[in-house]
Amino acid sequence: METDIGFDMLGEIIEIRNNIVILKKNENTLQNIVNLFVKIVDKDKIYIGEIVSYSKEIIEIKLSGEIINNNFIYGVSQKPSFDAVVTLLEEESLNILFGGNKYSPSTSLYLGKSALYKDYPIYVNINNLFANHLVVLGNTGSGKSCGMARVMQNLFYKQDAKAINSTFFIIDAYGEYKNAFSMIDYVNKEFCFKSYTTDLNANEEIIQIPLWLLSLDDICLLLEVNNKNQIPIVEKALKIINIFSRAEESVIKYKNSIIAKSLLDIFINGKTPAQIRDQIFSVLTRYNTKDLNLDSPIVQPGYTRPLKQCLMIDTTGKIRDTELVVKYLQSFVLEEMNLSLPDGSFIYTLKDLLYAFDFALIDEGVLNDDKVYSLANELRVRLASLIDSGNYKFFDFDKHFTKDDFYHMLTHNTNNNQKAQVINLNLNAVDDRFAKIIAKIYSKFLFDYAKSSSERGKNPVHIVLEEAHRYVQNDRDTEILGYNIFERIAKEGRKYAVLINLISQRPSELSQTVLSQCSNFLVFKISHPADIEYIKAMIPYVDDEMIEKIKNLQTGNCLTFGNAFLIPTITKIDLATPTPSSNSCDVSSCWF
């Protein structure tokens, strides 16, 4: 491939300042060479630099690295001498910088074309790109969604190697990516696309969340726990579900014990006899069993009376049969009951969880503590609201399955059991709050599943988060649960081959921890001052010159840098074919 750029000596080195080489320009030097790369040959050393400034007499070059044994090494060990020869980069060196010299079907991926060198192809090492966390940033309409789709399409459209064992989960905020990937089986019959939706009226599989496979932390996320004191209530409810799955006799004994202990607590809470009586009536009206209720017979020599009569207040203002009632309730209290969290071996529903939650409230004694009751009741109200909403259907199952079964269901075609390479989770039909919950729960399931695998790191999973700033935030998860799942994946995911790919138009709203752990960046045009400053502060590769490039990029062009790229490069990503459904509204065609 030829370019129209000559390779004559650009000028004479007259000054070297820090990492900047300054040339006195030759009279015949070409115009419009800013941002092009140069080759500086100094005896047995070859330096690579970028032209950052150009005037009538002076050229300023920023040193980028060296070519050693046909490999580009970022950074320089020492500066060139004043006798070094400086020319524009020739094709052989371009091939080294842009990865063409090391192309291999199974290790190289075509990324796009150089925006500066007449569509010169740019290749990246697949491991360097996809074995690290990736960030795609850009304003609305800058081409970031289309760009990410095209990078993935390049992987699946390769004719010399087939990524059959790849697995991409797309957290699709607006349902845009189905259009881009639903036809990948036409490229190769071994490829498969699978789509799930939150639209309950759509003619496709809906997103499913099997409660019995969720951990304590998952349930806390589902119920939006916002105070550490709420966690023990959730934990107790899950343990009660585990007990309630046993034989009916054991269940009744445990229910009786919970209710009896709660009623005994009422007797010692320091309230007046009338308040004690009223609260016991309230509890037993709402929570009772066939053995323990307001009409339960209390037998004494010579007479039998229902429990409610024994709570009558006598003429002295005291409960007449306090000792009798206390002794009766104590007969139901179990000294020991082995409690453990569910292990996923049995199915339970949201209604089962609500039922267990009610018993957890009285077992923890929250009915006697207004502050704790308020915290616990928040969760109960959220759970009841979830049951009453359409979102209940995402948790509705008619059969039990294991984590292995569920992962297989997610990643394989329902009709022919073929493995899917792209699994799209369309969250467009639910509100932002619930979409964030789904994104966290699914990401945590994928991470936990990879951690539990006996073949650690053998089955890479990529979680692509469109509109990532809606999910990957600086929220309170770490304060409440001790960690945020996206931050945990960012810090630990690589060792288990769980990688995140973030796509966002608002980098300033992303979690600082997650962004700091990302190694590869495709940055399309960004102009918002807050986002520009955030990028400068959070990404170590970025300097003022790169910021100026980012602010002035054309649509579809991005600045690529990080572990997968030998040198920061302005890359023109080809248009996705087909494109995601992310085009801007054509107002004129709608109006006229």
Whichever domain contains 79, its CATH number is 2.40.10
Whether residue 169 is predicted with pLDDT greater than 90 in this model: the reply is: yes
Query: What is the per-residue pLDDT for 279?
Result: 87
* Residue-range definition of the domain harbouring residue 565: 108-199+401-585
Same-domain pairing of 384 and 456: no
Residue with tokens 């996206």: 486
Same-domain pairing of 89 and 170: no
Whether residue 519 is predicted with pLDDT greater than 60 in this model: the reply is: yes
* Rounded Cα gap, residues 252 and 239, in angstroms: 15
**The residue type at 502:** L
Q: Does a structural domain hold residue 204? A: no
Same-domain pairing of 500 and 447: yes
Whether residue 2 is predicted with pLDDT greater than 70 in this model: the reply is: no
Q: Does a structural domain hold residue 183? A: yes
**What does the DSSP 8-state code read for residue 213?**
G
**The residue type at 108:** S
Same-domain pairing of 54 and 112: no
Q: How confident is the model at residue 367 (pLDDT cuts 50, 70, 90)?
A: low
Same-domain pairing of 346 and 464: no
Q: Does a structural domain hold residue 209? A: no
Whether residue 359 is predicted with pLDDT greater than 90 in this model: the reply is: no
Instruction: Give the pairing of strands 85-88 and 20-25.
Output: unpaired
Half-sphere exposure of 501 (CA within 13 A, CB side): 25
Whether residue 583 is predicted with pLDDT greater than 80 in this model: the reply is: no
Give tens-digit pLDDT for 40-83: 999 999 999 999 998 888 999 999 999 999 999 999 989 999 99
Percent of the chain with pLDDT strictly greater than 70: 97
Q: How confident is the model at residue 3 (pLDDT cuts 50, 70, 90)?
A: very low
Query: What is the per-residue pLDDT for 336?
Result: 78
Return the number of other C-beta atoms located less than 10 Å from residue 362's C-beta. Answer: 20
Query: What is the per-residue pLDDT for 537?
Result: 84
* Rounded Cα gap, residues 354 and 358, in angstroms: 6
Same-domain pairing of 80 and 222: no
Residue from 307, 312, 267, 268 nearest 289 by CA: 307
Q: Does a structural domain hold residue 1? A: no
Strands annotated E in 458-566: 461-466, 498-504, 520-523, 557-562
**E strand or H helix that includes residue 206:** none
Same-domain pairing of 18 and 135: no
Same-domain pairing of 277 and 135: no
Query: What is the per-residue pLDDT for 517?
Result: 95
Number of domains in the chain: 3
Give tens-digit pLDDT for 403-446: 999 999 999 998 899 999 999 999 999 999 999 999 999 999 99
Q: Does a structural domain hold residue 281? A: yes
Whether residue 232 is predicted with pLDDT greater than 80 in this model: the reply is: yes
User: Which two structure tokens, joined as six digits, stand for 519?
Assistant: 């190694």
Same-domain pairing of 360 and 291: yes
Return the number of other C-beta atoms located less than 10 Å from residue 67's C-beta. Answer: 18
SS3 category, 219: helix
Whether residue 585 is predicted with pLDDT greater than 80 in this model: the reply is: no
Q: How confident is the model at residue 1 (pLDDT cuts 50, 70, 90)?
A: very low
* Rounded Cα gap, residues 59 and 56, in angstroms: 8
With contact defined as beta carbons under 8 Å apart, do 196 and 204 qualify? yes
Same-domain pairing of 40 and 72: yes
Give tens-digit pLDDT for 469-506: 999 999 999 999 999 999 999 999 999 999 999 999 99
With contact defined as beta carbons under 8 Å apart, do 181 and 152 qualify? yes
* Rounded Cα gap, residues 198 and 334, in angstroms: 45
**Final residue of a structural domain among 97, 120, 138:** 97
* Rounded Cα gap, residues 480 and 567, in angstroms: 41
Q: Does a structural domain hold residue 205? A: no
Return the number of other C-beta atoms located less than 10 Å from residue 297's C-beta. Answer: 9
Same-domain pairing of 569 and 521: yes
Whether residue 7 is predicted with pLDDT greater than 70 in this model: the reply is: no
Chain centre to alpha carbon of residue 82: 51
Calculate the alpha carbon distances from 66 to 186, 190, 426, 566 in Å: 44, 42, 46, 11
Give tens-digit pLDDT for 379-409: 999 999 999 999 999 999 989 999 999 999 9
**Final residue of a structural domain among 357, 373, 391:** 391
**Final residue of a structural domain among 97, 131, 147:** 97
* Rounded Cα gap, residues 578 and 573, in angstroms: 14
Could you tell me the pTM of the whole model?
0.90
Backbone torsions φ then ψ of 20, nearest 5 degrees:
-110, 130
Give tens-digit pLDDT for 522-578: 999 999 998 998 888 888 778 888 898 999 999 999 999 999 999 999 999 999 999
End-to-end CA distance of the chain: 46
Strands annotated E in 214-369: 297-300, 303-306
**What does the DSSP 8-state code read for residue 90?**
P
Mean pLDDT over residues 136-163, rounded?
94
**E strand or H helix that includes residue 151:** helix 144-156
Same-domain pairing of 432 and 557: yes
Whether residue 212 is predicted with pLDDT greater than 60 in this model: the reply is: yes
SS3 category, 108: strand
Q: How confident is the model at residue 157 (pLDDT cuts 50, 70, 90)?
A: very high
Residue from 203, 581, 202, 209 nearest 429 by CA: 202
Whether residue 6 is predicted with pLDDT greater than 60 in this model: the reply is: no
Backbone torsions φ then ψ of 24, nearest 5 degrees:
-90, 115
With contact defined as beta carbons under 8 Å apart, do 418 and 192 qualify? yes
Q: How confident is the model at residue 365 (pLDDT cuts 50, 70, 90)?
A: low
With contact defined as beta carbons under 8 Å apart, do 559 and 526 qualify? no
More confident position, 279 or 169: 169
Whether residue 201 is predicted with pLDDT greater than 70 in this model: the reply is: yes
CA dihedral 396, 399, 405, 410 (to 10 degrees): -30
Residue from 339, 360, 424, 430 nearest 393 by CA: 430
Q: Does a structural domain hold residue 440? A: yes
Give tens-digit pLDDT for 247-306: 777 788 888 988 898 899 888 877 899 999 998 998 899 888 899 999 999 988 888 999
Instruction: Give the pairing of strands 303-306 and 134-137.
Output: unpaired
**CATH classification at residue 415:** 3.40.50.300
Q: Does a structural domain hold residue 307? A: yes
* Rounded Cα gap, residues 225 and 591, in angstroms: 47
307-344 burial, b at 16+ Cβ within 10 Å, e below that, comes to: bbebbeeeeeeebebeeebeebbeebeeeeeeeeebeb
